[in-house]
Each structure stands twice: as structure tokens, then as C-alpha cells.
Amino acid sequence: MTVKLALLLVIIVGFVFLPTTVFMLFGMLPTIAVFATDRTVGRNKTICIGAMNFSGCFPFLLEFWTEFGQQTVDNALRLIGQSETIIVIYMLAAGGYAINKAVTGITVSIIIQRNERRLKKIKSEQEKLVKRWGEKVTGQYALDDYGFPVKPIPEKKKEEDDKPDKEPDKSDGQNEKSNDQNTEEK
Amino acid sequence: MGEDEDIDITAKDDSEPKEEQEKPIVEDKREKKLAEKLGGGIATYEDKYFIDLNSELDEYSTDTVKAYDAGNSKSKPRGLFAVICNPMYTPRTNVTHNYKKMANSTLPSLVEHGRIILPDGKARYCYIYQNNLGERVYNSDENIALGWKTEKLIETLVIPIYNALSDLQNRDVTHGNIRMSNLYNGGSKDFEKVKLGECLAVPASLNQPVIYEPTERAMADPIGRGEGTIKDDLYSLGVILAMHVRNFDPQRGKSEDDVIAAKVVQGSYGALIGSSDRIASGVSDLIRGLLADNDKLRWGLEEISEWLEGRRPNAKQPLKVKKAARGIEFMGKKFFYARTFAYRMNQSPQECIPLIEGNELKHWIERSLDDREMMARIELAFQSAKEGGTGVGYWDRLLPRISIAMDYQAPIRYRGMALHMNAIGNAMALAFIEKRGMANFAELFNNGILYFWISTLADLNMDVAEYIQLLDKVRGFLRQGGMLNGMERCLYFLNPSIHCLSPLVEEYYASSPQEYLKALESVAKVKAPNYPSTIIDQHAACFLISRDTRLIEPHAYDLTSSQDFRHVIATLNILAGIQKFNNMEPLPNLTEWICSILDPVIERYHDTEYQKKLRKDIESKKEDGDLSKILILLESPEKVKKDQVTYRRALAKYRELETEKQVLIKKMQKPKYFSERTGQEWAATISGVISVLIIIGFLLVHYGTDVPL
């Protein structure tokens, strides 16, 4: 209900300030396009591109409000039609795309590396625990009241446990782009 | 077995037996275990006395024990003699302490006794005496008839042996070895007073021929005669005196069974001194009194004292043994006396079954013997035997009961054994050592024969409380399972003098917990480094609990546990306890042994680092040979608690890490779900910051400080 009211309000304001609305409509087109396709939680991509897009629109918007003449739809269209305007606005929007891509890529890489390091450390700590306390510390075996296995630990199981843990599949991250549309957030 | 016809036997006894009529001596089936050959060398007793195993002394040796020269000097031990006990037989350590306190010139002076170490490292029990007995007076116990005069008899035999027996009785010790071949001249051929030989190395009466024993003891196996009483010693004295005063031996050439039969039929006096033999009346009274078959009527020391003073003690008429009007035929012979029939019956049990099944025995007792009390006992015997059914084992239960009913004074007979109640311990010991016949004892305890015997005595108003208590305890041990019960426990309970028969230490003759520990030390030295995995087995456990309950009872549960570590820690506790309470010397070899089996205990600590430290500490303490120090390292409650606490923390920590690992793995399988979101958040943030900076920068550039907003 609140959303509908807010939407109604936006529409009313939009009509009241129609020239600005027209200008912003064309100026923020990259953001609108991203918004339509962005399925991420929080729509961070939209925010990223939208912020840069807006920063591109702002000087021209200010100019439209102060120096350009009367605030009419024709003037708004004339302003947006200037090549300088379009180039600046869309370049900055492209910058937003670039920032999104670069930062995301770098972050993913950092996180993956950090996780891998952490996994190695966990494995190492677990091995130390096993070395110090025995296989029974893994919790895989039923223990009596004193903490000793109820049944003897079979030798084969020990050998299997000694094999290195399976490495996580990194390829999923690289294939993320193709699966982007099917992303589901938990 | 000789015929029981009065007339025939009397006729035979009246004259010197002619060679052609002499009966062959029946082979004695009750074999004694001969003394072992020890080889040469010097055996040592606590580095104080030395025994020359190359110098055997025939004078003091018997079939069952050997005697050797002994002394203080290692190079040529002399001045003493040592009797080395036969490991098959239990020495009389229960009376040794009292004997040692005596100082009687008729008896050998006991210098020392205890465990000696043979040259090969094994051990034996040994008695060391002063070597002042002289030579053996008689080399045989057979065919002796010396026709001595009364005065010589009194001076040479009666007074010294009476004095010895008086001293022994004051110390509550029976001799049990009074016989002709155990008399010595004190070193002088014209001796005036005889000396008695040693009596402690074998069970009482083991080496006594049947002629020296009252009938009921003679009927028993040599190992089954029991400790005996002063009255039995006096009987033996009576036999010796009879042999000295008579002019011929009525039992010459007779078998042991014939001698026993003669004693039953004619009485001991009649059997030993022929009716035609003329003996001075004074000494005849003495011998008659000493040879009374009923031990209540037999002369004691008081009567002898009176007799020596010239007074005539009151003559007690012996009870006449009931003779049947008609004999019962068995094995080609006719028997007129219940005692002799019962004795013979048990030598051929299978053959008497038809007599019993056909009621012939019952009829004989009822009509020919006319003994209603005996008949009542026979009926009870049948009833009692039938309680276990009449199937398998019925005759094994019935025959001993019938034997008891017919002759309750006789030894208890079962499957070829003939034992008195207080000799069961010694007989069991022999069975264990020989490793045969144990099942017979278990059956004897469990099938009610002993209770039947006790109830028979109780019906005759005899004091049986002690026997009931004993038997109840024994049956309790057999009923309960486990390491601290069973036949082994019965053995050590019934035979408090026996050494530990655990296979590990049997040859080291450990007869006390301290000696057990020393034996283990020797075993450890020999077996290193291939130590047996178990130290205290059932024999050792039963031996230790019988010798000192305090040692084992606190650890009984752990010792009998199926869990290795419990058994090991209990073993260490017990051995450390023995070492500590007896202030024993260090035992480095035993310590090494026990440390080799400590793994299950060490591994009860979860922390392998602590295990390593513990092993290191144990390694460093091992050489001290102090088991208590090892125990302290292992049984620290604070360390156990700390180990448990840190282990629980480790378990929780591992779980935590595993959870984190699973989460990370999941995240990395689909990085766009987790990592990209973070990246995009950062991108949005950075983008937002850059866009704000761009806007602010534009405003500053375009308007300076005059921002139209």
C-alpha cells in the first residue's frame, strides 16, 4: 500500500516537474536499463551505475535549472539532445559499469583467495588436532563417556581421511556471467 | 587283600612265616613323587648360607626330599645340613615358626628356613638344620623285631621321644614323621638317647609307611592324611616301641592292605605283636595304651608321664569292632567287618555295584552285621545320592556316601582318592602341580559328599562347625566366577602354605607376596625383552588375595576387567603396593617389564603430546626400580581431569572448524552467491563515493564558494 502511494506520489511529482522528469528520463536511461535486468539482492549494480549516471546528469540538470532558460519539455529535450550532454552522461554511466565490473572481479578474487587460505588453515588446524588427539576428535565416531571410540577405528577409514580434501570448484565463479539470469539468492 | 577270617589270620600270626608261605607284597599303588635331581653347584640362602649340591647326605634324605651339606662358607659349606623341599609337596611352613622357637636335644635344631636360589636361578624351599643328628639307626622300616629289654627301651626311646613330643605339643606342632628309619644316634654308635629326624620338609605323615599310622590315617592316600595330632605321634611311638620289644614281626611280608586289615580285625596291638609273643607286662601296658585304635582311649602325654613315674594309668577297655555273623563275598573273598569291606569296596567300585543294586549289602548290614545305626546311615546315603538324580554320576555320588556310612572315621573316598578333610588342601596342591585330577575336586565340592560326611559326624554329636564354615566358603568360591574365585581360590584357601603356582613364577617358589615380587623380578630378567603381556594371572591373583586381602581387594574390579588398561593399572597398583608395604629393594627388571605393557594405560590420556611426555618421564624413572614412582606418574587425578577438559575443548574446536569449512566450501562452489554480492556492494559504495566527489568537484569548480543550492 505504501509502495503504491509512493509510486502515485512519484508520478504526480513527475508530472508536476515534467521537464526535469523528461530530462532525467533520458539522462538516467542506462540506470533504468540496469534496473530492469538487475536481480541481485540490494540491486547493488543498479546503485553503482545509477550513482555514476546521476553524477553525469547532475551538472546538466543544474544548468537546466539555472542557466538554460525556461524549464520546458522542449528545452529539456534540446539540452539532452546536445552531444556534449549525452557523451558526458553516458560516459560516466559506462564508468559506473566499469567500476562495478572491476571492483566485483577484484573482490571476488580476493575473497576466493582468502577463503582458500582459510580452508588451508582450517585443514592444517584440523590435522594438528587429529595428530594431537587422534581420529576420534573428528566426531565421526561414536564415543563412550570417556571420549573413546565405542568401536575401534578401522584402518581403511584412516587412510581415506589422510587424503587431501577436495578443492572447491573455481570454475563456477568464472561461469557466473552466463548463469547470471538464473541467480537465486538464499 | 587278606581274608578277614579270624582263625586264619591268628594262625598265621603265631609263627614265624615260612618262606614258601610268604605272600608277595602287593605293589603300593599310592606312589610318592620322588625328590628331583638338582645337579651340582652351590645353592644360596640370602647370601648367608650355602648348600653344596654335590654333597648329598643319604642319612637325612628320603625318597621325597634330599639333604645336602650346608654351612656359612661358600667354598666348602659344612657344619649344617639342608633339606631341599620337593616342589610337588607343600612344606609345613604353617608350623615352622613355632618349631624354630624350640630347643630340644631330641629334635634337630632349625637354623634357617626359606627360599634358596639354585645355581640355575630357580628357587626351592629349604630347611637348614644343625648337623648333629649322627647316623641313621635303622635303614628300613620293615621286618624289625629286636626283643629289647624294658629299661633300655625307656632310656633310649621313651624318655627322649616323650620329651620331644611334650615340647612339640606345647608349641602346637605335630611331628608326623616318627618311624624307625627317622631315628638317629646323635653321632655315637653306643648312643643312650635316640634323636628324631626332621619333620617339616613334607606334609605330615607323607613318608610314613602304613604300619606307623592309626587305621583311619593308614587308609588314606599318603598326601591325604592331614596334619594329625599328638595322639597320632604317640601311636607312631607305640609302633616303634612294639618293633623294639617284639621277638618277631607278625606282618612280615604282608602288603599294606593286609596290614590295615590286620589292624582292623585284631586291633593295632594284636597286629603288631603276635599273640604268642611274650612281652613284659609293664611295657605291654604302655604299648597297648599307645596303640589304642580309638584315639579317645589312646594314651596321651599325661598317661605316659604317669607310667614313667611307675603308676598304672586307668586301663580303658577298647570298643570291640562289630563282626558280622556271616561274611559278605566280594572279589573272591569274604568280609566280616564293615571297615575292611568299605576299604576294599572303594578299590574296586565298579565291582560292588551289583552288590548294592541287588540289596545284598543292605541285607548283610541289617541281618549279619545287625547294625541299625549303620543301616540308617546307609538309607540316608541312598536318599542323599538320589537328590542329584539316578542318571549319570549317580554311582559316583552313592559309593562315597556308602563308604562314609559304613566307616565315618575313614578318609573320604572319591574316584580313587582317599583323603581326610584337613588334607584336601595338600592333595589339591599335588593335583594342580601334576596338572591332573582337578575335576575330581570340583565334583567333590559340588556333589554333596562332603556335606554328607559332615552331617554324618553331626549326627554322631561330633563338632563340625569348622568344617561347615570351610565348605561353605569353598562352595562360594566355586559358585562365583572371575579371576579371584574358582578352583585356584579354593586351593590357596585350603592350603595356606603352598607357593604360588602361577606358571610364570612356579619355579621360583614364591610363598609370600614379597617372594612373589622377587620371583617376578627374576622372571623379568630372564624373559627380557620378550615379556609376557600378562603379569598377574588367576593363580597369582588367588594366591595374593589369600595371603593378604588388602593387596588385591581394592583393585579386584579393575583386575578382573576385560578392558586392558584397567587390568594393567590394577596390576601396577598391586605390585607397587607389595613393594611399598614391605619396604622392598628396587626391582628394575620388573619395572622394565611393567613399563612395556603400560601402553593401554598411557593411551587412556587423549593428548598424544602428554602421552609422549609421560613415556619420557616413565623412561627416566624406570631405572629406579620403584613401581610407586611409575604409578604416581600415571595416576594423577589433576592430569586426568586436565586431559579430559582439553580433549573436550579440542572436540568442540574441531566441530567448529568443520562447520566453518563446510560453509566456505559451499560458498566457493557458487561464488556469485556470496563473493560477487560483496564485490557489488563495494562497487556500489565506491561508485557512490566517486559520484559524490564528482558532484562536489563540479560545484566547487563551477560556482566556487557560491553554491546556488
* Cross-chain Cβ contact B664/A104 below 8 Å: no
- Give me the pLDDT at residue B23, please: 34
* Cross-chain Cβ contact A55/B672 below 8 Å: no
**The three cell numbers locating residue B430:** 599335588
Reported confidence tier of residue B29, pLDDT bands at 50, 70, 90: very low
Is residue B310's pLDDT more than 60?
Answer: yes
Give yes or no for A40 touching B (CB within 8 A): yes
The residue of chain B with its CA nearest to that of A42 is B681
Q: Which residue has the higher pLDDT, B26 or A105?
A: A105
Query: What is the mean predicted confidence (pLDDT) over B260-289?
Result: 88
The Cα of B119 is separated from the nearest Cα of chain A by a number of Å equal to 48
Alpha-carbon dihedral sign for residues A139, A141, A143, A147: negative
Q: What is the pLDDT of residues B210-265, one digit of tens each?
A: 999 999 999 999 999 999 999 999 999 999 999 999 988 999 889 999 999 999 98
Maximum alpha-carbon separation in chain A: 90
- Give me the pLDDT at residue B706, please: 60
Is residue A121's pLDDT more than 80?
Answer: yes
Phi/psi for B130 (5° steps) reads -70, 140
In chain A, which residues have their Cβ closer than 8 Å to the Cβ of B695? 55, 58
Is residue A165's pLDDT more than 50?
Answer: no
Of A40, A95, A133, the CB nearest to B650: A133
> N- to C-terminal Cα distance for chain B?
145
In chain A, which residues have their Cβ closer than 8 Å to the Cβ of B655? 139
Is residue B675's pLDDT more than 90?
Answer: no
* Cross-chain Cβ contact A170/B690 below 8 Å: no
In chain A, which residues have their Cβ closer than 8 Å to the Cβ of B670? 172
What residues contact B326, with CB distance under 8 A and at least 6 apart?
Answer: B336, B364, B368
* Cross-chain Cβ contact A111/B675 below 8 Å: yes
The Cα of B605 is separated from the nearest Cα of chain A by a number of Å equal to 9
Q: How far apart are CA A4 and CA B332, in angstroms?
A: 131
Q: How far apart are CA B599 and CA B615, in angstroms?
A: 9
**The three cell numbers locating residue B247:** 621277638
The DSSP secondary-structure symbol of B22 reads P
Q: Which of helix, strand or coil describes residue B123?
A: strand
Reported confidence tier of residue B544, pLDDT bands at 50, 70, 90: very high
Interface of A with B in 88-147 (CB under 8 A): 92, 95-96, 99-108, 111-112, 115-116, 118-119, 122-123, 125-126, 129-134, 136-139, 146-147
Which of A36-50, B2-16, B312-326, B347-361 has the least mean pLDDT?
A: B2-16
Query: What is the mean predicted confidence (pLDDT) over A98-110?
Result: 91
* Cross-chain Cβ contact A186/B673 below 8 Å: yes
Of A139, A168, A172, the CB nearest to B651: A139
* Cross-chain Cβ contact A118/B664 below 8 Å: yes
Mean pLDDT estimate for chain B: 88
Is residue B707's pLDDT more than 90?
Answer: no
* Cross-chain Cβ contact B658/A126 below 8 Å: yes
Q: How far apart are CA B360 and CA B347, in angstroms?
A: 19
- Give me the pLDDT at residue A178, please: 40
Is residue A67's pLDDT more than 70?
Answer: yes
Convert B34-63 to b/e letters by CB count within 10 Å (16 or more is b).
ebeebeeebbbbeeebbbbbeebbeebbbe
Convert B132-163 to b/e letters by CB count within 10 Å (16 or more is b).
ebbebbbeebbebbeebebeebbebbbbbbbb
- Give me the pLDDT at residue B30, please: 56
Reported confidence tier of residue B31, pLDDT bands at 50, 70, 90: low
Query: What is the mean predicted confidence (pLDDT) over A81-110?
Result: 91
Which of B177-181, B227-231, B434-438, B670-674 has the least mean pLDDT?
A: B670-674
In chain B, which residues have their Cβ closer than 8 Å to the Cβ of A61? none
The residue of chain B with its CA nearest to that of A136 is B651
Q: Which pTM does this prediction carry?
A: 0.77
**By the 8 A CB rule, do A139 and B661 touch?**
no
**Amino acid residing at A162:** D
Q: What is the pLDDT of residues B77-99, one digit of tens each?
A: 788 999 999 989 999 999 999 99
**The three cell numbers locating residue B281:** 607286662
Is residue A138's pLDDT more than 90?
Answer: yes
| Most trustworthy range by pLDDT among A20-29, B453-462, B669-678 | A20-29
Reported confidence tier of residue B460, pLDDT bands at 50, 70, 90: confident
Q: What is the pLDDT of residues B358-393, one digit of tens each?
A: 888 888 988 888 888 899 999 999 999 988 888 888
The residue of chain B with its CA nearest to that of A114 is B664
From the list A77, A69, A184, A22, the residue with the least C-alpha distance to B673 is: A184
Q: Which residue do the cell numbers 639333604 mark?
A: B67
- Give me the pLDDT at residue B259, please: 93
Q: Which of helix, strand or coil describes residue A144?
A: coil
The DSSP secondary-structure symbol of B154 reads I
Is residue A21's pLDDT more than 70?
Answer: yes
In chain B, which residues have their Cβ closer than 8 Å to the Cβ of A142? none
Residues constituting chain B: 709
Q: What is the pLDDT of residues B571-622, one digit of tens each?
A: 999 999 999 999 999 999 999 999 999 999 999 999 999 999 999 999 999 9
- Alpha carbon separation from B395 to A61, B354, B379, B410 (Å, rounded): 127, 11, 15, 19
* Cross-chain Cβ contact B657/A100 below 8 Å: no
What residues contact B19, with CB distance under 8 A and at least 6 apart?
Answer: none
| Bridge partner list, B130 | B80
Query: What is the mean predicted confidence (pLDDT) over B463-484?
Result: 90
> N- to C-terminal Cα distance for chain A?
26
Q: How far apart are CA A98 and CA A45, in angstroms?
A: 11
Strands (E) across B475-589 are located at none
Q: How far apart are CA B463 and CA B457, in angstroms?
A: 8
Q: Which residue has the higher pLDDT, B388 or B661?
A: B661
**The three cell numbers locating residue B88:** 610337588
Query: What is the mean predicted confidence (pLDDT) over B345-355?
Result: 87
Q: Which residue has the higher pLDDT, B7 or B499?
A: B499
Reported confidence tier of residue B538, pLDDT bands at 50, 70, 90: very high
